[in-house]
Amino acid sequence: LGWLTALEPPAALSGAALTQAEITTVVMYDFTRLVNPQLVRDGAYPLLDTLAAYCSGLPAFADTRPLATVDQSNPSLEKISG
């Protein structure tokens, strides 16, 4: 993920429409933090954190975010518990 931080800040953070690449990146980043959070320590990728925080406030993201927690000993999507 480190190479993503070397890129220019996403235009979406300045009010432009999200690109498919930005949407895919945030979905992957959020999924990784949900299922295997030890892979992404807090503050390691500030640009991704900012983009993910921005997106989490958008209805398309907020309405589809899992409300449950993941069993870290078996992070299968089938094992999401609430």
Structure tokens of 56? 């989490």
**Global model pTM greater than 0.85:** no
Q: Between 49 and 74, where is the model more confident?
A: 49
Structure tokens of 27? 């979905």
Residues 6 or more apart whose Cβ sits within 8 Å of residue 32: 39, 40
Q: How many CB atoms lie within 10 A of CB 51?
A: 22
Q: 18 pLDDT exceeds 80?
A: yes
3-state secondary structure of 1: coil
Specify the pLDDT at position 7. 76
The residue written with tokens 């979406």 in the block is 12
